[in-house]
Structure 1
Amino acid sequence: MKQDLSSRFLQFAKECEDSSPLYEYLSTQIAQDIVLQNVAAQVPAGQPVPNMLFASVHYLLMGQDDELRSYYPTFTKTPLPVENSLLPFKQFVLKNHKLLMMLFRTRLVQTNEVRRCAYMYPIFTEIYEEQGKPLALLEIGTSAGLQLGVDQYNYLYNDEIWVRNTPNLLTITSTNLGNPLPNSIHTPPVVKTRIGADLNPINLKIGKELKWLQALIWPEHHDRRKMLVEAAQVVNNLEIQFVRGDAIEKLEDLCASISEDEQIVVFHTHVANQIPRDKREELITKLKTISKDRPLYHCYNNLFDANLHQDFLVDGIVNEKRVMEPADGHARWFSWVD
């Protein structure tokens, strides 16, 4: 078990390279620290251990005046060198052991990265242009539903291509490394139905819920925290049907509730890797069954590989429409494919 934890923290350190010096350093140290590994081992099965540990510490730090805050760019413009952060981190973890255990039991790693709309938006605009009818967006693992507001945000691609959809403050920036984006991006899709299913939907109107999402964001990522707050203001004013429970089990009933005048688009990002393989296969089977009555789109990644997929299902057959190389985990860049 300890060897497995060590490997997971070393892998997380690689994910943090050039993105979070603090978490990169702490991860490499935790991979060698038995005491901290013993704490991390209490994270429930199925949850990403490093993410949960760091988010829980971050969350508690938001309400405590502790020396450890001096190493977090979240709390200071002049953080102390990360190389000196292990001891205060370890002391904080041990001092707050009971509170951390409570968070491990009651919280889930539900990072809701609104910037991922940057690569979903072109897909949805193209679907809307092709089908010529309003979209019904159904998101599996929706968390707080930020991506369900995809049509309500503005976009800036490659620092030169502006998409101004609304007077809302949020402008999502990202770099497209692939083929030119479709012209459809300049016509926002009409979205009539928004359904977000999750084992534990997050209500952003509750302060501590928003605080948890902020804690999941890495300390150096100020722009992500800013976008989260701005997206929350947008989503709180949208009509979204949040559904608590197993999205795959409820999928057929949810699709049946959607008007025939709408084009169903089932989507999910960075969620399927946490779903058991047999349930992932069940998802595909159910989508095929639904498509025998009405065609639908399935847009996703991390189902059976890390690529971004856009499938069109009709008459029980999956038609692969687009496969894009894996995008940056926080959607700072992606590679569009015609």
Structure 2
Amino acid sequence: MPVAALYSDFATREAHPGSPTYERLSLAISRDTELLALLERVPSPKRQPNLLLAVVRLLGGPVDDPEAFRAFTVAHWPAVEAELRSRATQTNEAGRCALLLPVLASLPQPLALLEVGAAAGLGLYPDRYAYRYGDHPVGDGHPVLDCALTGTAPPDRLPEVVWRAGLDLNPLDVTDESDVAWLDALIWPEQRNRRQRLKSAAAIVAADPPLLVRGDLVDDLRDLAARAPSDATLVVFHTSVLYQVPVERRNRFLAMVGELPGHWISVEAPDVVPFPELPPPPGDTLYNVLSLDGRPLAWTLGHGQEMNWFA
């Protein structure tokens, strides 16, 4: 996709209405020939809007005003480009556990969780968070993850997790201030609730760290899966990760993950993990598809705030 279209699409399908700031910025970037030319210098995966916007915020750049953003980005382009090349989008959103919970609660317990693209591992603690599906609470404590659920009954229990591990090319550490600063920079400016949720979830992870392995989703997944306890149900899952993986590697992963013992949960865009027949999505916003073992179950929004069950 041309870079201009990438940014205009992000503005209209993702940032709207969750972040008017990023919607405005992305539209301005999509029309700015100098910024677009600078972005053309970096590899295609490094041009994505979430990555650029987070990098500028991490470097202390302004995002409230498109002109100020442009001036900072152009003036500091060598530093921006270096960060773009070295980093990847690692939106470690604990709210996505609300999408996983109905599936996890339905599987034979206890569970051994293995997350592909785990970042700091915040997605590995669905049993430690509390949830609210409309007016239906599940669990207690903090953070409370809100999800508008339609099409199925909300779950009535938390899963029992006895093992949790994550695989990532660049695992993050919630006890490292610079890693937490990167996670914070990835949160959209207006979404203060997500920022507070990050702090609460990071405290849970820091108190009981998971096994985080630096590795590749094709080369290293089998070995890590083999470390799961044999008396637990292995669940391999990933949420909004595979769009960053080259198509050939992605296809190799998809062919392999379905052959592992246990179960496989995917939450990805329908052009990333395609299915032959899907009902129309609920709206024009970018929806992902939740699936279990290759069977599509629901349309979901990217940060876990909405799930429309159709299975």
Partner of 1:268: 238
2:97 to 102, 117, 122: 117
Contact 2:300–2:308 (CA<8 Å) still a contact in 1?
yes
Q: Structure 2 CA distance, aligned partners of 1:238 and 1:220? A: 30
Query: Do structure 1's residue 250 and structure 2's residue 256 form an aligned pair?
Result: no
Which range is displaced more, 171-180 or 33-42? Answer: 33-42
TM-aligned CA deviation for residue 31 of structure 1: 1.2
SS at match of 2:115: strand
Residues 179-198 of structure 1 aligned to structure 2 (within 5 Å): 179-181=152-154, 185-198=155-168
Contact 2:114–2:236 (CA<8 Å) still a contact in 1?
yes
1:138 to 99, 114, 122: 114
1:94-116 CA-to-partner distances (Å, cap 9, x unmatched) read 22222212211222111111111
1:188-234 CA-to-partner distances (Å, cap 9, x unmatched) read 22211111000111111110111111111111111111111111111
Residues 215-234 of structure 1 aligned to structure 2 (within 5 Å): 215-234=185-204
TM-aligned CA deviation for residue 137 of structure 1: 0.3
TM-aligned CA deviation for residue 337 of structure 1: 4.7
Partner of 2:58: 59
Residues 29-40 of structure 1 aligned to structure 2 (within 5 Å): 29-40=28-39
Residues 206-221 of structure 1 aligned to structure 2 (within 5 Å): 206-221=176-191
| TM-score, normalisation: structure 2 | 0.88
1:22-42 CA-to-partner distances (Å, cap 9, x unmatched) read 111121111111111123234
Contact 2:139–2:157 (CA<8 Å) still a contact in 1?
no
Matching residue's letter, 2:137: W
Q: Structure 1 residues 99 and 288 mapped into 2: Cα distance closer, same or farther (>3 Å)? A: closer
Q: Structure 1 residues 228 and 106 mapped into 2: Cα distance closer, same or farther (>3 Å)? A: same
Matching residue's letter, 2:152: N
TM-aligned CA deviation for residue 299 of structure 1: 0.4
Q: Structure 2 CA distance, aligned partners of 1:210 and 1:336? A: 33
Matching residue's letter, 1:105: R
Q: Structure 2 CA distance, aligned partners of 1:289 and 1:86? A: 48
SS at match of 1:156: strand
Q: Structure 1 CA distance, aligned partners of 2:129 and 2:260? A: 30
Contact 1:40–1:53 (CA<8 Å) still a contact in 2?
no
Q: Structure 1 CA distance, aligned partners of 2:4 and 2:255? A: 37
- Greater helix content: 1
Partner of 1:162: 137
1:100-156 CA-to-partner distances (Å, cap 9, x unmatched) read 1221122211111111111101211111xxx2x321000001111111011100111
SS at match of 1:37: helix
Contact 1:134–1:191 (CA<8 Å) still a contact in 2?
yes
TM-aligned CA deviation for residue 48 of structure 1: 4.9
Q: Structure 2 CA distance, aligned partners of 1:42 and 1:151? A: 43
1:252-294 CA-to-partner distances (Å, cap 9, x unmatched) read 2122222210110000011112223332332233234434xxx
Query: Do structure 1's residue 205 and structure 2's residue 175 form an aligned pair?
Result: yes
Q: Structure 2 CA distance, aligned partners of 1:235 and 1:266? A: 19
Matching residue's letter, 1:99: A
TM-aligned CA deviation for residue 49 of structure 1: 2.0
| TM-score, normalisation: structure 1 | 0.81
Contact 1:324–1:336 (CA<8 Å) still a contact in 2?
yes
Q: Structure 1 residues 186 and 177 mapped into 2: Cα distance closer, same or farther (>3 Å)? A: closer
Contact 1:194–1:239 (CA<8 Å) still a contact in 2?
no
Query: Do structure 1's residue 92 and structure 2's residue 72 form an aligned pair?
Result: yes
Q: Structure 1 CA distance, aligned partners of 2:160 and 2:308? A: 25
What number of residue pairs does the alignment pair up? 294
Q: Structure 2 CA distance, aligned partners of 1:49 and 1:163? A: 35
Query: Do structure 1's residue 22 and structure 2's residue 21 form an aligned pair?
Result: yes
Contact 2:111–2:161 (CA<8 Å) still a contact in 1?
yes
Partner of 1:8: 6
RMSD of aligned residue pairs (Cα, Å)? 1.9
2:266 to 300, 305, 311: 300
Q: Structure 1: any 5+ residue segments left out of the alignment?
A: 72-84, 312-317
Query: Do structure 1's residue 147 and structure 2's residue 116 form an aligned pair?
Result: no
Larger radius of gyration: 1
Q: Structure 1 residues 212 and 239 mapped into 2: Cα distance closer, same or farther (>3 Å)? A: closer
